[in-house]
Structures are given as C-alpha cells and as structure tokens.
Structure 1
Amino acid sequence: MQMSRLAQRAKALSTCFSQTRLFGNGTAVLRKSDDDRAPQARFFPPLQEPMLLPGTFKNKVAFITGGGTGLGKGMTFTLSSLGAECVIASRNLDVLKATAEEISSQTGNKVHPVQCNVRDPDSVKATVDQMVNDVGLPDVVINNAAGNFISPSERLSANAWKAITDTVLNGTAYITLDIGKRLIAAQKGAAFLCITTIYADSGSGFVMPSASAKAGVEALCKSLVAEWGRYGLRFNIIQPGPIKTKGAFSRLDPTGKFEKLMIERIPVGRLGTVGEIANLAAYLCSDYASWVSGATIKIDGGEYSFMAGEFNSLSLVTKEQWDVMEAIIRQTKGS
C-alpha cells in the first residue's frame, strides 16, 4: 500500500515536472515581480546611455536598414550621438523622416532618410546611389531590416516564405553586395554588422522562414570575413534574444502570454533593451573593435544556454516539489 502511494506521488510529480518545463511558475525566489522581471534582475540593471566616448564616430557615415523603428532606431540614435552622420533606409518614408528629425534634434547630427525596398535590387541601387551622392560611401553598414510572423509551417504559402526570405536574406545580400563592390572599387574600408537571432543556430518551429533566412545571413557574413578582409572590410553578427519592441511583440506575442514564459527561461530575469543592443553594435562597428571580424555574439541574458541544457528547466521546480521527490528517494532507499 505504501509503495502504491509512493508510485502515485511519483507519477504526480513526474507530471508536475513535465508541465513545469513549459509552464512552471517557478520557486518563490524565481517568481516575477509586478514589473514583469524576476527578482534577480536587480543585479543586472540595463544601462541605456552610450558607453563609447563622444566623437567615436566623428566624420564617419553609417548606413542602417530598418532604421526608422525598433532596434534600427536605437542603433541610429547611439551612432548619431557618438558623432556619425547616419543614413536610414526602409520602405516607409514618413516613418523615416519622423525618426530622422527626432534623432537629429536630440544629437545635433544630420540623419538622412532614404526610402528603400531591400527586396528589390534596383531600389537598393537607387538608395546607395543617393547615399553616395549625399554623404559618400559608408564607414558602417548595419543590415537590420527584417520581417517575421508566427505560423505553423504546414500553413505557410510560397508567398509567405518569399516575403520573409526576400527581406531578411536577399535584402541583406543585395545591400552587402552593392555597397561592398563600391567600397572595394574605391579602396575604402568599412565595418559590416548583421542583426540575426539566437535561433539562427538552433532553428525554431513556427518561425521556420525567419530561422532559415537568418542562418543564411550568418553564412553570408562568415563567408565574406575570409574573402573580403583583404579589402579592409570587417563582418560581425549580433544574435539578440528577446528585446521588447512594439513592432516585434505586436506580431510575435499579441496576447502577452509568451513574454512571461520568456522571462522564466532567461537566467538574468528580464528582457533585453534596445540600448544594450545599440551599445554592442556601436562597439563592433567602431575602431575599438578593428581586430574583431567573424564574431557572432549572443546577447540574450543567458536564454540560449538555459534552453540548451537538458535539466536546466528543473530550476523552475518549486521547493515543495523537491521535498516530495526527496521523500520518495528516502523511502525507496529504506524499502
């Protein structure tokens, strides 16, 4: 009878462990506070101001795709505040103009909005032509334009696949090849940076086109590290974890439920900030990182490592659940 009860408790605990892996609320120590951060997040405060010295990018031109909103806007602000003359590109010219005016008024440095559809090579060429005419060839190129949505892969149409891969992979290739060829011809060096994602390494269900395209972007960068280094061109990659921006979260987490799950699997206990990505981007594109080429840097609060470990989700098991397990072990040893 006693062993039967133990077996029932073990089964219940097993079920609890299984559910905790995906949906656990965590121990008292790991529960989120009212501001949607775990208590340990107080040890990891995000610093938003630029970390590099004023004037780091003085007399330099930076070109940022997707520069009107989200991460692109944040990186543009940081580079502009450090002295860069920025050119921002996307399809929505009105948004670009508003962002350019906002950032210029804050930093005192000119930001140029240029309409561009990165999916179209002709549009890319026209955009780069305009940049060269206005400010010259860039010293910094950030491929940040992206697109994504959640969908079961069996529901994807050919157009859905094409919409993502044309923006993320083909767009990055068109920008990089067009600007890169001109830089090589002009014998001018530059730093290229691509913004991908942590699941470019692992793949991910329900965002299969994005995962495939981002992995392709990383292969593009790594290939050119070896081939174009002799021309004075550097290539690096940032893999952000979850950064809460209005555009991304409205598409990927419209109900807000997934955000709670994300925080539970981030050891640092909070989401990342735009400013943190911008500071890393500025460093990698600066002369302080002139010996950094071919780097792929995760900035995710430890999320990738947490998800990769087979038993890491046991950190979400409560003290009461551990007590039950220890009691089962003690009684089993004594029988």
Structure 2
Amino acid sequence: MSPATLPRRYPEMEGKVALVTGGTSGIGLATAQAFAHEGAIVVIASREEKRASAALKSIQGQASWIACDVSDGKRVEKLIAATLDRHGKLDYAFNNGGSGGAGRPVGKMSEEAWRKTIDGFLTSAFLCMRHQIPTMLKNGAGVIVNNSSVDGLRGYPFPGGAAYAAAKHGVLGLTRSAALEYAKSGLRITAVCPGWIDTPPITSFVKKDAKLGESIVAQEPIGRLGTAAEVANGVLWLCSDAASFMLGSPLVLDGGYMA
C-alpha cells in the first residue's frame, strides 16, 4: 500500500526534517514519499540529478535534492551543512545510499572491488553518521536508521556476494555500537534488515535470469518479494515516537526469510 493511500499515523513528524540518502529510487524513494506524507520536510541525496528530478515529482510534500556521493567524506560533510543551511536542523536520517564493485567469489575478487564495496555500503554509513550525530546532538534528539540487509545476518546465498554481506554485517556492528554510545543522549540509532525486495536491482536480476528469480522468490516463506513501501513503513515506525524504546537492534523485514 502506497503512503498516499494511508492516513497520517505520526503527527509528531509534521515539520520535522528527514534526510534520505539514495532517495531517488526503490526503498529510499518510498521512504522519502512516506516521510513527506507524514508532513516532514524531506531532503533526498543521490548522485544523479536527472533521476532526482523525476523522484521529486513523485513526492507529495516539501522535498528537495542535494547531490552527494556518500562514500566521499567531504561531500557528506557538505550534504549535512547544506541541509542545515536550508532547514536549520536534522531530525531523522535514513542512511540508505550505497554502491559496490563487481561481485566475485572471495578467491577471485580483486582488492579494488572489495574496497569499493566496503566503502560504498559500510564506510558510507559511517561517514553519514559521523556528521549526523553531532548535528542531532545539538538539538538533544534525533533518529538514525541504517539500511543493512538479511545479508548482514547470514552469508550471501549466491557466489560473489561476500563483500556485500561483509559490508552489511559491518553496518549492524556499527549501528549497535553507536546506539550504545549515544543511548542516554536522546539520540536513537537503529537499522532495518530487508529481505528480497522488489526494487530495480532485483528486477534486473530476474529479467536476466528467470531461474534465479524463481530461486529468490522461493527463499521467501511468504511466497513473494517485499515492496519498497513495506520497508518504508518500517523505517517510519522506527523514527516515530511509537518506537521510543527501540535502539541498536535491527528491524528485520524479510517475509519470514530468517525465521
């Protein structure tokens, strides 16, 4: 169910500032749309302006875009500074953006591909948090949600995904540790672990290899892929006052995969 068809559930989000990295497609865009539906002021960050323009048109509410490669610390610093220049604060952050190198089995993986994947999915989350945390602490409150994966909870089920799984495991270690460091500060840090979600990368997989697509769906006890909107609903709940006792531990949204 899309955010536009739902009543507002979290009145406390009205006028709050929400940053979504990787916010121009898939889970990121669905989360940006959901924040806007709740009355939040949304900032989406990504690398491609053309895709961002299309994304902004689909967000019903106050939203803007800032160019950023989240694996680059200087650009992340500028992203947070620009958000503060525009809106004066940051209340919610969904660290969703990420990219990686070519996947290969460990014995055949290049060092370059390994580092690109770790930087793209793990270092990027650290860099975002590195600048988001001091900003939120100035207001004495805030919520950071990192996008990990069920691949952060178990080994990757197909050859070539070791670096990605390592990065996503790292995101959970980073999340849990940071959550404990700031548990008494008013700042909550947590994560989501989506299973197989119907997003552009998964759609591309399925189109290239129908048997692979069938095996992916077969891994979901619910019998289908999840939707980006379903993950977005989880992210918003984590950011809401309803989840005030939730920190550190991830929210697993996987259709029963890890059960």
Which structure has more helix as a fraction of its residues? 1
* In structure 2, distance between residues paired with 1:252 and 1:140: 33
* In structure 2, distance between residues paired with 1:52 and 1:195: 23
- Aligned identity (percent) is 27
Question: Which residue number in structure 2 is paired with residue 190 of structure 1?
Answer: 142
Residue among 192, 197, 201 paired with 1:238: 192
TM superposition score normalised by structure 2: 0.91
CA separation of 1:251 and 1:266: change in aligned 2, threshold 3 A: closer
Is 1:70 aligned with 2:23?
no
Question: Which residue number in structure 1 is paired with residue 201 of structure 2?
Answer: 247
- Report the alpha carbon displacement of residue 237 of structure 1 after superposing the two structures with TM: 1.3
- Report the alpha carbon displacement of residue 254 of structure 1 after superposing the two structures with TM: 2.6
Report 1 or 2 for greater relative contact order, CA contacts < 8 Å, sequence distance ≥ 6: 1
- Report the alpha carbon displacement of residue 296 of structure 1 after superposing the two structures with TM: 1.4
Tell which structure's C-alpha radius of gyration is larger: 1
Paired AA for residue 136 in structure 2? L
Paired AA for residue 113 in structure 1? W
Question: Which residue number in structure 1 is paired with residue 244 of structure 2?
Answer: 290
Contact 2:93–2:144 under 8 Å retained in 1? yes
Unaligned runs of 5+ in 2: none
- Report the alpha carbon displacement of residue 231 of structure 1 after superposing the two structures with TM: 1.8
- Residue aligned with 2:13, SS: coil
CA separation of 1:60 and 1:295: change in aligned 2, threshold 3 A: same
Is 1:80 aligned with 2:32?
no
- Residue aligned with 2:153, SS: helix
Q: In the TM superposition, what whole-angstrom CA distance separates every residue of 1:214-241 from its partner, at most 9, and x where no partner exists?
A: 1111111100111112221101111111
Unaligned runs of 5+ in 1: 1-46, 306-335
Question: Which residue number in structure 1 is paired with residue 109 of structure 2?
Answer: 156
* In structure 1, distance between residues paired with 2:220 and 2:201: 21
Contact 2:68–2:76 under 8 Å retained in 1? yes
* In structure 1, distance between residues paired with 2:64 and 2:35: 13
TM superposition score normalised by structure 1: 0.72
- Report the alpha carbon displacement of residue 51 of structure 1 after superposing the two structures with TM: 6.7
- Report the alpha carbon displacement of residue 252 of structure 1 after superposing the two structures with TM: 7.6
Question: Which residue number in structure 1 is paired with residue 230 of structure 2?
Answer: 276
Question: Which residue number in structure 2 is paired with residue 114 of structure 1?
Answer: 66
* In structure 1, distance between residues paired with 2:121 and 2:239: 20
* In structure 1, distance between residues paired with 2:231 and 2:197: 9
Residue among 207, 211, 217 paired with 1:263: 217
CA separation of 1:238 and 1:252: change in aligned 2, threshold 3 A: farther
Contact 2:205–2:213 under 8 Å retained in 1? no
- Residue aligned with 1:230, SS: coil
Alignment RMSD (CA, Å): 1.8
- Give 4+ residue runs of structure 1 displaced > 3 Å after superposition: 47-52
* In structure 2, distance between residues paired with 1:285 and 1:278: 11
Question: Which residue number in structure 2 is paired with residue 4 of structure 1?
Answer: none
Residue among 203, 215, 223 paired with 2:155: 203
